[in-house]
Amino acid sequence: MNSEIQRRRTFAIISHPDAGKTTLTEKLLLFGGQIQVAGAVKNNKIRKTATSDWMEIEKQRGISVTTSVMEFDYDGYKVNILDTPGHQDFAEDTFRTLTAVDSVIIVVDGAKGVETQTRKLMTVCRMRNTPVIIFINKMDREGRDPFDLLDELEKELQISVRPLSWPINQGAKFKGVYNIYEERLNLFTPDKQKVTETVEVEIHSSELEARVGEKDAQKLRDDLELIDGVYPPFDVETYLSADVAPVFFGSALNNFGVKELLDCFVKIAPSPRPTMAEERTVSPEEDRFTGFIFKITANIDPNHRSCIAFCKVCSGKFQRNAPYQHVRLGKTVRFSSPTQFMAQRKSTIEEAWPGDIVGLPDNQIFKIGDTLTEGELLHFRGLPCFSPELFKYIENDDPMKSKQLEKGISQLMNEGVAQLFVNQFNSRKIIGTVGQLQFEVIQYRLENEYGARCRWEPVGLYKACWIESDDAAEMEQFKKRKYQYMAKDLEGRDVFLADSGYVLQMAQQDFKHIKFHFTSEF
């Protein structure tokens, strides 16, 4: 069992939109032998879109709107990649994904540097002490000075960095990357399909000049000397304790610098780590199986209208057809066809180990955050729903299809795409989201996956907060006074929909014994 755990590497790839995250995922799969030819993500002539963007709307927009899971074997290691949406409107999906991984690769655009979304995601990694590797992408384009980028990373992401590869020039003059970790020179030939040659060159030999020219050879030696002077030698322990982030340079589109990243990553990245439950800490080496659901996706296969719940195995060994306890429902469940993924292609598996992500067929029994065990009552936490900031009434646009609309809304809300509140005053359904784009995705998916048409109507709200109180009389009084703004969420909890910041502030002042929560975890 131990050797299976040791060879697992489960990580998420995160970044600002357009930094090249999906392209990098795809090149990692190329090295893992999972795909034979990389689909040029941007090229419309090649109708093979990125493997990890499988929803129709993702192909049309060229962005990722949902986390996809892929796994492959590489060099004796079993690698599980979660490619997350970069767009801030889907940040919640990404935050939840970060609870299911042991380490993270952040992709930074070499020309743009650190962007807003990257900062936010880094905050979540810091909260959870997740080890981070940074990949600076697009070195084959004109960009910023590598030293300036390193300074910016330290300042903006509040983490020490240590370069483990170094670019020789950039843009049109980009000649390659010197692999500091393995002390090898990798020369660059732009090619989207094949992998570039690696040359072993002693850094102080005259062969370096012959390969990259006198000027670049001298600059590389000076840079490396400066790096050794400024940054302490790389120590794996500081990376594992999330104090230092190793940095790699390359161009994912042209397959460059990706292999160095992957080779170093599988060696130094952590194998599955203990998971905190409310009751105790669960170690991956335990004999008994435990796992939690961090994501639910409806309609991965449009022909079967099936829901899949993604379960992260935390300890023990998961086995097909074995009886497991569904802690929230208090009943025993068995899975005859658990799957593992290659984006939307999936294959049935017999067993899975800690660190693996298993797809479980879901006939509406799962919610995000559910725990599965071999009988022990455990609750894994850390899967928050944030208070939404945009609200709209959702109305049926086709009275003949009200059943389909009901089903569609219920499945999409269980996925955690957005949050549904039912107004207690007029019983109208209100959808709350973190970003505008989510409304479009919901409308698109309802029509294309469920055959139901909806329309949005404006509602002037500022924020939703969950409320609770030990003082029943005060709660009753609050509900009476605010009856037009009271709603219930999917769990049937009380939610106050404040229509302005001022109203919310006054409510907090007037009702001292009521607690107002801005995430659903309390």
* Structure-model confidence comparison of residues 175 and 289, the more confident one: 289
pTM for the full model?
Answer: 0.75
Question: Which pLDDT score, from 0 to 100, does residue 377 have?
Answer: 84
Fold agreement (2-268, 278-373): yes
pLDDT classification of 301: cutoffs 50, 70, 90 = low
Question: Which pLDDT score, from 0 to 100, does residue 42 have?
Answer: 38
pLDDT digits (tens, 9 = 90+) for 317-331: 888 888 898 888 888
Strands (E), 351-509: 351-352, 357-362, 371-373, 390-396, 419-423, 429-433, 454-458, 463-469, 486-488, 494-498
pLDDT at 86 over 60: no
Integer angstrom CA distances of residue 281 from 101, 261, 285: 16, 31, 12
Q: Are 101 and 7 in contact (CB under 8 A)?
A: no
- φ, ψ dihedrals at 43, nearest 5°: -85, 110
Question: Which pLDDT score, from 0 to 100, does residue 39 have?
Answer: 44
Question: Which pLDDT score, from 0 to 100, does residue 44 have?
Answer: 36
pLDDT digits (tens, 9 = 90+) for 323-367: 898 888 888 888 888 887 654 456 777 888 888 888 888 777 888
pLDDT at 45 over 50: no
Question: Which pLDDT score, from 0 to 100, does residue 37 have?
Answer: 45
Domain ranges of the chain: 2-268, 278-373, 390-517
* Structure-model confidence comparison of residues 276 and 434, the more confident one: 276
d(CA 254, CA 195): 8
| Mean pLDDT, residues 109-131 | 81
pLDDT at 234 over 50: yes
Q: Strands 514-517, 463-469: parallel, antiparallel or unpaired by DSSP?
A: antiparallel
Question: Which pLDDT score, from 0 to 100, does residue 194 have?
Answer: 55
Whose tokens are 């020490």? That residue is 160
* Structure-model confidence comparison of residues 496 and 260, the more confident one: 496
- φ, ψ dihedrals at 220, nearest 5°: -60, -45
pLDDT digits (tens, 9 = 90+) for 429-474: 999 887 777 788 888 888 887 888 889 998 888 888 888 888 888 8
Counting residues of the chain whose pLDDT is more than 90, the rounded percentage is: 3
What is the dihedral sign for C-alpha 517, 518, 520, 522?
Answer: negative
Q: Mean pLDDT over all residues of the chain?
A: 79
**Structural tokens at position 262:** 């992957």
CATH 3.40.50.300 describes domain 278-373: yes
Its CATH architecture, for the domain 2-268, is 3-Layer(aba) Sandwich (3.40)
Tell me which fold the domain 390-517 belongs to: Alpha-Beta Plaits (3.30.70)
* Structure-model confidence comparison of residues 86 and 273, the more confident one: 273
Cβ within 8 Å of residue 366, ≥6 positions away: 293, 296, 307, 309, 360, 414
Q: Which of 49-58, 272-281, 422-431 has the lowest mean pLDDT?
A: 49-58
Question: Which pLDDT score, from 0 to 100, does residue 294 have?
Answer: 82
Cβ atoms within 10 Å, residue 470 = 9
